[in-house]
Amino acid sequence: MANCMVFHTQIASIMEVLANAAVAEICKLVDDDYAVFRLEITQSQKENRALRRKLQLQELKVARERAERTTQERVLASRPSSVKILDQYKGMARVTLSGEGHLTEGHRTFVKPVGHNTWRDDQPITDDEGSGTSTKNIIVIESVDAEAAGPGVKQERSEREEDPRHSREIQTGAPHVATEVPTTTAPAPPNTQHSIMEVSGTPNAFLKSETDTKTLTHRLLHTGSDHRSDPERLGRGRLGSPPANDSEYLPVFHQSQRTVNSRGDGDTLDTGVDDLSCFYTTEMEPVNIHLGLETQTDLSKGDWNQYSSSVYSEGCLDKKGVVIVVDEVTVKMEDDVPLTLNGDKTELGEGHSQGRDVLDYRESLETNPNVATQSPLHILRDRDRVSTSMGPSDSHGHFVFDQVLNSKDQRAKAQGGGATSGNGKDKRFLCMSCNKGFSCLQNVETHQRVHTGEKPFSCTQCHMRFAQAGNLKIHQRVHTGVKPFSCTQCHMRFSHSYSLKRHQRVHTGKNSTAALV
DNA sequence: CTGGGGACGGGGCCC
DNA sequence: GGGGCCCCGTCCCCA
């Protein structure tokens, strides 16, 4: 019995010890967890504080931007409406004018309408793009000397004056890029220096005077036609008609085509983006406003990048029929980054990937719901196609042009021989401008760009434009540095195959095999 | 002599 | 098979 009592006592003490140990264990665990929990809470509180601070900073930032924007809008309120329209195209890396004009990168380049001389150059505005705090300059091109426009601005005026193509277009009577502001501004004095805006804001010097809306609309339609269908297609349409009687040649008239001259590029999205090439009217009369804003709406939805990254030539645009209304003053967007048709691709894909950029662009367009392939512009273009399908009498301006190009045409005749110079059986297609015969319709259509001055393929990296896609491709080696042709004897490299061939005469005096790398 | 643009012919692919 | 379209190769010319 006594043993039993002792046993029980021992058991009780053991139980107590165990209980104490368990409690201590539990307490320890709780303390540990509590410490961890406290730590986590502290960290969470720290994070909350950091986030709250961040939020406050963001709010401050937004408030500041809003204030700046308000200030900017106040400034804009004193500007002409066309300038405001331009300001909507924020996000464009570069703004150029129609034609070859490439304005300075790194600037927002806007065009000041005629008659608004109070808006001065380099007026800083806040750019809400990107960080939202950067400030860039507005370069206003005025009808003043080059110095006035600032060092960063390429002088469009002088370029136009010096650009033979431009003068060619003038001679052909083909509008460069039609812009019509038929309104209030009086025609610029013919002997003044023509700035961009003077051209823009006044009846074009090389356009017939157009004052009524009807004529203006026609002009607009004409523009669309040019963009959508290059002369090849137009010529094709005409060629669809039966050939002239008593002739084995198929006469191909070249109409008064103006150069699709707006992008200085591209690509392709091919930008398309090149590029793309999109055009905006800066000063719009009602018709233009409709189309222009429509375009802007599309592109403002974030499709600019798509365009700018895949369009590399307007020829592509033309083929797809995606044309944004062009007036003489156009706004172009380009990506600063190399576009789809870049050097790497050119180099690596030489002979394999060539030409795929156009497809890239097409695909990008096809996937772009905003690109309406059946836009009213197309209808108008079709109508315009009819209206421009005239005989040579419609293109009397080309006679002047042909005379200008006479030497070149003679050379061309010497090279390929005109239809009248033999082998006429194969060269069924006759150019009505120079009587040169071609065996392939495509060739004559391409050839007619010689007369029309159309250069639908524009380089995304520079202002160069080309009548043939292949030449553009070769040209882009200038930017990419790709020289796929190397000499086997001296390891010199060339970007042109013929350059290599010519070079190798130095070694051999005769022909030598070109080594493609 | 080289770099680079203009132009033409022709082959390949697709419809 | 033919036509349209795209692309490439080639040549010429000029700076």
With cut-offs at 50, 70 and 90, classify the pLDDT of residue A35: low
pLDDT for A123: 34
Q: What is the pLDDT of residues A209-225, one digit of tens each?
A: 333 333 333 333 333 33
In eight-state DSSP terms, residue A173 is T
Q: Which residue has the higher pLDDT, A85 or A466?
A: A466
Beta-carbon contacts of A504 under 8 Å, excluding residues fewer than 6 positions away, are: A487, A489, A511, A512, A514
| Distance, Å, A415 CA → C13 C1' | 12
Residue A388 has pLDDT above 50, yes or no: no
Assigned token pair, A103? 């304005």
Name the protein residue, with chain letter, whose CA is nearest the C1' of B1. A503
Task: For residues A22 and A217, give the distance between their C-alpha atoms in angstroms, rounded to a whole number.
Answer: 95
pLDDT for A49: 74
Using the CA of A499, which nucleotide's C1' is the nearest one?
B2
pLDDT for A454: 83
Q: Which nucleotides of B are covered by protein (CB under 7 A)?
A: 1-11
Task: For residues A268 and A313, give the distance between their C-alpha atoms in angstroms, rounded to a whole number.
Answer: 6
For residue A200, how many C-alpha atoms fall within 13 Å in the half-sphere facing its CB?
32
| A43 C-beta neighbours (distance < 10 Å), count | 10
Assigned token pair, A228? 């959508």
- A468 contact to strand B (CB, 7 A limit): yes
User: HEC profile for A275-344?
Assistant: CCCCCCCCCCCHHHHHHHHHHHHHHHHHHHHHHHCCECCHHHHHHHCCCCCCCCCCCCCCCCCCCCCCHH
- A358 contact to strand C (CB, 7 A limit): yes
Contact assessment for residue A332 and residue A96, using Cβ atoms and an 8 Å cutoff: yes
| Distance, Å, A350 CA → C6 C1' | 15
* Burial class, A62, CB count within 10 angstroms (exposed 0-12 / middle 13-18 / buried 19+): exposed
- A428 contact to strand B (CB, 7 A limit): no
Candidates A132, A129, A138; CA nearest to A83 is A138
Task: For residues A244 and A482, give the distance between their C-alpha atoms in angstroms, rounded to a whole number.
Answer: 47
Which range in A20-24, A55-59, A122-126, A502-506 is most confidently predicted, on average pLDDT? A502-506
Q: Which residue blocks in A176-278 are alpha helix, DSSP H? A: 196-201, 213-228, 231-239
Q: What is the pLDDT of residues A305-347, one digit of tens each?
A: 333 333 333 333 333 333 333 333 232 333 333 333 333 333 3
Contact assessment for residue A264 and residue A331, using Cβ atoms and an 8 Å cutoff: no
| Distance, Å, A178 CA → B5 C1' | 27
- A408 contact to strand B (CB, 7 A limit): yes
Task: For residues A306 and A263, give the distance between their C-alpha atoms in angstroms, rounded to a whole number.
Answer: 16
Residues 181-240 of A with CB under 7 A from strand C: 232-233, 236, 239
Averaged over A151-164, what is the pLDDT? 34
- A506 contact to strand B (CB, 7 A limit): yes
Name the protein residue, with chain letter, whose CA is nearest the C1' of C9. A497
| Distance, Å, A469 CA → C6 C1' | 9
Residue A467 has pLDDT above 70, yes or no: yes
Using the CA of A514, which nucleotide's C1' is the nearest one?
C9
Per DSSP, what are the bridge partners of residue A271? A273
Using the CA of A359, which nucleotide's C1' is the nearest one?
C6
pLDDT for A448: 84
DSSP-assigned letters across all residues of A448-516: HHHHH----EE-SSSS-EESSHHHHHHHHHHHH----EE-TTT--EESSHHHHHHHHHHHHSS----EE
pTM of the model: 0.34
Q: Which nucleotides of C are covered by protein (CB under 7 A)?
A: 3-13
- Give me the residue label for tokens 């006759």: A430
Task: For residues A208 and A391, give the distance between their C-alpha atoms in angstroms, rounded to a whole number.
Answer: 19
Averaged over A374-383, what is the pLDDT? 31
Task: For residues A167 and A205, give the distance between their C-alpha atoms in angstroms, rounded to a whole number.
Answer: 11
Beta-carbon contacts of A248 under 8 Å, excluding residues fewer than 6 positions away, are: A424, A425, A428
Contact assessment for residue A328 and residue A204, using Cβ atoms and an 8 Å cutoff: yes
- Give me the residue label for tokens 């239809």: A419
pLDDT, chain A, mean: 46
| A244 C-beta neighbours (distance < 10 Å), count | 12
Name the protein residue, with chain letter, whose CA is nearest the C1' of C4. A442
| Distance, Å, A389 CA → C6 C1' | 25
Contact assessment for residue A275 and residue A309, using Cβ atoms and an 8 Å cutoff: yes
Which backbone phi and psi does A438 adopt, to 5 degrees?
-135, 145
Contact assessment for residue A266 and residue A458, using Cβ atoms and an 8 Å cutoff: yes
Candidates A265, A283, A282, A284; CA nearest to A273 is A265
pLDDT for A404: 33
In eight-state DSSP terms, residue A137 is E
- A441 contact to strand C (CB, 7 A limit): yes
Using the CA of A487, which nucleotide's C1' is the nearest one?
B2
Which range in A73-87, A125-139, A275-289, A330-344 is most confidently predicted, on average pLDDT? A73-87
| Distance, Å, A414 CA → B8 C1' | 11
Candidates A287, A226, A237, A249; CA nearest to A452 is A226
Q: DSSP 3-state assignment of A246?
A: coil
- A351 contact to strand C (CB, 7 A limit): yes
Q: Report the length, in residues, of chain A.
A: 517
| Distance, Å, A241 CA → B10 C1' | 26
Q: DSSP 3-state assignment of A187?
A: coil
With cut-offs at 50, 70 and 90, classify the pLDDT of residue A147: very low
Residue A495 has pLDDT above 80, yes or no: yes
- A268 contact to strand B (CB, 7 A limit): no
Q: What is the pLDDT of residues A59-98, one digit of tens each?
A: 777 677 766 665 555 444 443 333 333 333 333 333 333 3
